[in-house]
Chain A
Amino acid sequence: QVQLVQSGTEMKKPGASVKVSCKASGYTFTSYGINWVRQAPGQGLEWMGWISPYNGNTHYAQKFQGSVTLTTDTSTSTAYMDLRSLRSDDTAVYYCARDHGTDEAFDIWGQGTMVTVSS
């Protein structure tokens, strides 16, 4: 079945970086964009950015420009989100989510990766 499986829980110190992976299966990876969305504890959803696995094009929310890098590895059908200079307010669950074609919706979500930033 179509699914996105993310890497496991991370604990990082302030100033460090984290790289979260999102492995796709059950569909043609290069045919759908991948979005990254985060959710701070007890809070709502925040869109971070998007990448096209087809050509590597990216779009980032202004807030994350310069601190987030999205990449893909088409040989393994895996998307990556690299977040640098971590702060305590980056503590959140990070989700990858697939584009629903051109309908500007997110139809398949990964299970989420908890990233905790603490000294």
Chain B
Amino acid sequence: DIVMTQTPLSSPVTLGQPASISCRSSQSLVHSDGNTYLSWLQQRPGQPPRLLLYKISNRFSGVPDRFSGSGAGTDFTLKISRVEAEDVGVYYCMQGTQFPQTFGQGTKLEIK
């Protein structure tokens, strides 16, 4: 199985400041069809996960444009341009390139 490793595991951020989360895969996530199936999810406290980005950088419907994704191959980054209070929660990367889908261990975003 592909192992997804996120850093940091915890990220205290000041409101209005940027935040960045890294996700590294144990193998390239480039599929034979040319796509890279790396997505990012947000899980607010007590809530189910919510899709933020898919195929590295495509924002899902309703996701604010302060969320952006980048990367290629095995290294990916989620960036929040200006953190708001509602962004508190745990963020997961997920790969769908190779069966079975696997998740990173999660990064807890908290306000300083």
Contacts and interface: CB of A to CB of B under 8 A. Distances in A.
Interface residues of A, number: 21
A46 interface: yes
A107 B58 CA distance: 12
Pick from A44, A104, A106, A111 the residue with the most CB of B within 10 Å. A104
Grouping DSSP codes into helix (H, G, I), strand (E, B) and loop, the B interface class, with mixed when no group exceeds half, is loop
A35 B35 CA distance: 21
A59 to B, nearest CB: 7
B48 A103 contact: no
Interface residues of B, number: 24
A44 B92 contact: yes
A105 B39 contact: yes
Nearest to A107: B51
Interface in B12-68: 35, 37, 39, 41, 48-51, 54-55, 58, 60
Given A61-B100, A104-B39, A104-B96, 4 more contacts: A100-B54, A104-B101, A107-B51, A109-B51
